[in-house]
Amino acid sequence: MNGAQHLIQALEQEGVDVIFGYPGGAIMPVYDALLDSKIRHILVRHEQAAALAADGYARATGKVGICMATSGPGATNLVTGIANAFMDSVPIVAITGQVPTSLLGTDAFQEVDIFGITLPVVKHSFLVDSADGLGEVVHEAFRIAATGRPGPVLIDLPKDIANAVAEFAPAPSHGAAISLKPAYKDITRAAELMRQSSRPVIYAGGGIGMARAVSEFRDFAELTGVPVVATLKGLGVLPPSHELFLGMMGMHGNQAANFAVQESDLLICIGVRFDDRATGKLATFAPHARVLHMDADASEIGKLRAADAAVVGDIRFALAQLAFVLPISEWREKCAAAKAEYAWKYQRSSSGEIDARYFLKRLSELAGEDAVVTSDVGQHQMWVAQHWQVARPENHLSSGGLGTMGFGLPAAIGAQLGRPDALVINITGDGSIMMNLQELVTLRRYDLPVKIVLFDNQALGMVRQWQELFHNERYSEVDLSDNPDFTAVAKSMGISSFRAERESEVEPAIGRLLNESGPVLAHVAIHPKANVWPIVGPGKSNSEMLEEEAR
């Protein structure tokens, strides 16, 4: 067996069933070995989509996603997807071909230092220097990607190593990922803070879903009775209808959620990193609150906000230990009243145009709580976060940290392959869809029944909104009124498509989207000046939310 065959064998041992990739010169030995494997390869049409599809697969399944590309431009095209996975702590393994070791460092054809380029955006990386150890490298890469705080791992494989004959050496099997049990004294201190609090709020983040701790989290929330706010990535830790759930916090959060945080005397922060989109102006964030921070990653403790108590390690264990009743009914009722007061209101449009918020609310209701929604980045991403009924974190795939336009469609492809029986819906915009439009061909090629809703406001809507609100309506390079006919583009790639532009077309459009078999694209026209409300302005406190009426 050669190195490439060892690589594929090790991937099979890890239970890999699908690889997203694109072949090329330096990775050819691996593609050759792949012919004799049962692993399914999904040929995307741009390497960035391979990395983002692997990311979507990992988020939707909880397994490690795999992407593969050749050296040089193939490898550099993966970088955005790798960075996306890094920022959102998603476990993927990226495999890149590399020029032969004798040519490394000589500026050879399609040579690029992908190891060096990706150093800031990987959890770890390997430049393989021996075929004999390749299996071990793969197993180690999987362990690193999935253990503790998950993240991307790069394996850069020179072509001569892939071709070299290597002795078969059974790779050491590693057991389940080891989770660090939090220290007892830290749990005790955390419990002490909780007992002393009269206005606690749980600030729930993506770390809960990544740690597969949703069940323990729900038990914890329900037993303690503490109101819950979530970050973008934390959506789904409680169903939106749950009495304790106050909504998303932050820049485009629900006012009840931001109110609760600002009024709280204890923030119970679980799997969060105090992202600026969530906290607003940090100096005025939760000004009266002590901080109890629970996370798998010790380096997040105190990074942006000092913690009065910290619990590092397996949050499932910590949540179980800290689940006890707190006498805070008065505070809970106050938060519930705010939730009722600030609940989203859906009004019929006087102009007869489609309101994206209402469209999403209806689509979410009709798609059901088991549907997986992926979004791109921009206004529609925030509307999804606000108006989609996210029942589980793994059902809402959104590029939170990096904010990658073009994430949604490849992520939907990955999610659909990972969960073939799920209804997978991609919500996108006329800016974002163009970033990975070519992947419509991939949908057709593999007949993946992804449903796409393309909200078209003929603009880069979120940038246009900021220019309107914070740059005195000086619009700079946001006009997309020369968009192509998206329904025709989709049809040219073999995707069924239709257009909707009047409010009266909402129900028929959703009906067609959900009932037609195979992939479908709904091109939905919305008002060019539709904005996301409420909003916290740049550098402002979360207590200073702007409402639509204040425009």
CB of 295 to another protein, least distance (A): 11
Q: Which residues of 175-198 are buried (b: 16+ CB within 10 A; e: fewer)?
A: eeeeeeebeeebbebbeebbeebe
Asked whether the beta carbons of 498 and 512 are under 8 A apart, the reply is yes
Token pair of 29 as six digits: 């030995």
Minimal CA–CA distance to 65: which of 77, 73, 57, 75? 57
Measured CA to CA, the distance from residue 484 to residue 417 in angstroms comes to 29
User: Which residue among 8, 33, 75, 127 contacts another protein (CB under 8 A)?
Assistant: 127
Can residue 98 be called a binding residue for another protein (CB under 8 A)? Answer: no
Cβ proximity to another protein, 198 vs 299, nearer residue: 299
Cβ proximity to another protein, 148 vs 234, nearer residue: 148
Residue 235 sits at φ, ψ, to 5 deg, of -60, 135
Residue 317 sits at φ, ψ, to 5 deg, of -65, -45
Options 462, 486, 498, 505, the catalytic residue: 462
The 3-state DSSP class for residue 503 equals helix
Known active-site residue 109: yes
Measured CA to CA, the distance from residue 442 to residue 452 in angstroms comes to 14
Can residue 178 be called a binding residue for another protein (CB under 8 A)? Answer: no
Known active-site residue 477: no
Q: Map the footprint of another protein across residues 129-148, applying CB under 8 A.
A: 129, 144
Can residue 116 be called a binding residue for another protein (CB under 8 A)? Answer: yes
Can residue 125 be called a binding residue for another protein (CB under 8 A)? Answer: yes
- In this structure, the number of other CB atoms found within 10 A of the CB of residue 347 comes to 8
CB of 33 to another protein, least distance (A): 24
CB of 306 to another protein, least distance (A): 9
Options 1, 13, 110, 516, the catalytic residue: 110
Asked whether the beta carbons of 217 and 268 are under 8 A apart, the reply is no
Asked whether the beta carbons of 427 and 453 are under 8 A apart, the reply is yes
Known active-site residue 38: no
Options 68, 86, 115, 159, the catalytic residue: 159
Cβ proximity to another protein, 53 vs 301, nearer residue: 301
CB of 134 to another protein, least distance (A): 14
Q: Rg (Cα) of the chain, in Å, rounded?
A: 24
CB of 298 to another protein, least distance (A): 5
- Strand ranges for 392-433 from DSSP E: 396-397, 424-429
Q: Map the footprint of another protein across residues 282-311, applying CB under 8 A.
A: 297-299, 301-303
User: Which residue among 115, 342, 358, 498 contacts another protein (CB under 8 A)?
Assistant: 115
User: Which residue among 12, 105, 119, 287 contacts another protein (CB under 8 A)?
Assistant: 119
Can residue 273 be called a binding residue for another protein (CB under 8 A)? Answer: no
Measured CA to CA, the distance from residue 125 to residue 135 in angstroms comes to 15
Interaction site with another protein (CB under 8 A)? 115-116, 119-120, 123-127, 129, 144, 149, 297-299, 301-303
Residues designated as active site = 47, 109-110, 159, 462
